[in-house]
Amino acid sequence: MGALTSMATTALKVRTRAAPAARALPPPVALPLDQILRGDCIEAMRSLPDASIDMIFADPPYNLQLGGDLSRPDGSHVDAVTDAWDRFDSFATYDAFTRAWMAEARRILKPNGSLWVIGSYHNIFRVGAILQDTGFWILNDVVWRKANPMPNFKGTRFTNAHETLIWASMGEKARYTFNYRTMKTLNDELQMRSDWVLPICGGPERIKRNGVKAHPTQKPEALLYRVMLATTNRGDVVLDPFFGTGTTGAVAKRLGRHWIGCEREEAYISVAEERIAGALPLDESALTTMQSVKPTAKVAFGALVETGWIEPGTLVFDKKRRFMANVRTDGSLAFEAETGSIHSLGAKVQSAPTCNGWTFWHIEHQGEIKPIDELRQLYLLATED
């Protein structure tokens, strides 16, 4: 027994000496919140930890496959069709690029996160197939119908008046974010449809440097406003792997979301940094969203809010200034402890059964007091086909 005990003790000592020392876990990688990661988007995403991002909005190169320049009838050059970042040697090269960035997107998204991808007919079908092959589950395809599209100058095809967005979750059973009530309120208590009529980026929103567009395919902030309000919450982290001039970052800052951008073009980075620095975050009270009872209108009040005609946080009031209400991000109004749409809140404050909010509520616009219906008419004129 003594010999056996001695042998057992010796074996225990050997095992103890041979066991590897416990290694400390590496510290968690801090997210570079509200920063632009310079360089290739795939490499930039590889620097981010697993399951750390709430939503990704991707506006990848469209791979337009044009053999030469495209000119308007007046001889002027059409932007974006010959830029180096949109050139790929073949469909196979483009597909390999798409698989690479999408694999990283899937790795860094949280299990309840979601992915948005926008494209044209040139690339969206290839992107959609790869998206499904990668394991994403398509929730919707959204048609962004451009209220003011560029015409087909040669007259050889239909005018390309829309782009397609794919919204996808991490899997069929994933518990993704969808703020249904907010979207319904934004659309004057009608369910938000998957066809969105929004103007292309133009006017003061279109960023220019020395009289030239800073980016040829700058997306309108209204588009990102709706995407972000629908599928993220305050404090969420939104990643844009093709950051460009920073539309995603500017809208995220306004709506109280964190953002991370990936961009390799220094000219775009410079514009984005300046733009986001100037974006003003909204007041906490304006960021609160709700659903109200059903009014009817041909143009949703929310359309004026998301397109910037009426800023969240703006005060609206009745003609006699008895009631001062605050406009919130989803197009609802707040007055003291009461909230509602322009119509329902107007009825509440008057103790009336109904109210036409368009004519009841007024706003100061260009130094004049006007009913908000006048801004609706201006919006209609600006966006009509």
Query: What integer is the mean pLDDT of 119-137?
Result: 96
- pLDDT of 355 above 80: yes
User: Each residue of 229-265: pLDDT tens digit?
Assistant: 999 999 999 999 999 989 999 999 999 999 999 999 9
- pLDDT of 14 above 60: no
Give the three-state DSSP class for 340.
Answer: strand
State how far the Cα of 135 lies from the Cα of 131, in Å rounded to an integer: 7
pLDDT at 26: 53
Beta-strand ranges (E) seen in the chain are 35-38, 53-58, 109-119, 137-146, 162-169, 195-198, 208-209, 212-213, 237-240, 258-263, 315-317, 324-327, 333-335, 338-340, 362-365, 368-371
State how far the Cα of 311 lies from the Cα of 255, in Å rounded to an integer: 12
DSSP 215: S
Residue 303: C-alpha distances to residues 25, 91, 226, 240, 287 (Å): 49, 38, 10, 24, 16
Residue bearing the bigger pLDDT, 21 or 148: 148
Query: What integer is the mean pLDDT of 193-197?
Result: 95
pLDDT at 76: 46
Sign of CA dihedral 140, 145, 151, 154: positive
Residue whose tokens read 């629908």: 230
Query: What integer is the mean pLDDT of 67-83?
Result: 47
* Interstrand relation of 53-58 and 237-240 (parallel, antiparallel or unpaired): parallel
Residue whose tokens read 């003594």: 2
User: Each residue of 315-349: pLDDT tens digit?
Assistant: 999 999 999 999 999 999 999 999 999 999 999 99
pLDDT at 4: 37
State how far the Cα of 288 lies from the Cα of 182, in Å rounded to an integer: 10
Give the three-state DSSP class for 63.
Answer: coil
Residue bearing the bigger pLDDT, 212 or 240: 240
pLDDT grade for 212, boundaries at 50, 70 and 90: low
Residue whose tokens read 């390799």: 264
State how far the Cα of 242 lies from the Cα of 80, in Å rounded to an integer: 15
